[in-house]
Amino acid sequence: MPALTPIARKLRRNQTDAEARLWQRLRNRQIAGAKFTRQVPLGPYVVDFCCRPIKLVLELDGGQHADNPRDLERTRRLEAHGYRVVRFWNNDVLTNTDGVLQAIALAVAKAAQPPHPNPLPGGERGK
């Protein structure tokens, strides 16, 4: 597997319009104090945006990602490592930035919730 840091650096320098727009709204803890970084090497992948403390990954997809089985596998593998992956279309970021930001704020709030202090023994059905 090649070292991903040089690839991540290149992706940061050559970001898409959608990535640039979203990064301006994510950087400096602008959403619920969550610290996002961009083009983050994570396992064998470079993810678009990541908030490591709450294990939240944001991916921006262009039309080439429609029904892409490799994206499904990527999401499955990241989730197997405890990350929640939220995907947005580039077009949505560019035309409905506020709606995307609201969805991200909800994902941050959900991911940041601590576990229940008194979980039911053996799960909710007592198994």
Burial of 57 (0-12, 13-18, 19+ CB in 10 A): buried
CB 66 within 8 A of CB 76: no
**Neighbour-count burial for 61-77, b at 16+ CB within 10 Å, e otherwise:** beeeeeeeeebeebbee
Q: What is the model's pTM? A: 0.81
| Contacts for 65 with CB less than 8 Å, ≥ 6 apart | 71, 87
How many beta carbons lie within 10 A of that of residue 40, not counting itself?
19
Backbone angles phi, psi at 2, to 5 degrees: -70, 155
Pair type for strands 56-61 and 37-42: unpaired
Residue type, 40: V
pLDDT at 46 over 80: yes
| Mean pLDDT rounded to a whole number for the chain | 86
> Of 6-20, 30-44, 48-62, where does mean pLDDT reach its minimum?
6-20
- What is the structure's pLDDT at 64? 61
2's tokens: 């090649």
Average pLDDT of 56-73?
81
**For residue 27, what pLDDT band results from cuts at 50, 70 and 90?**
very high
How many beta carbons lie within 10 A of that of residue 93, not counting itself?
23
- What is the structure's pLDDT at 24? 96
Residue type, 12: R
- What is the structure's pLDDT at 1? 46
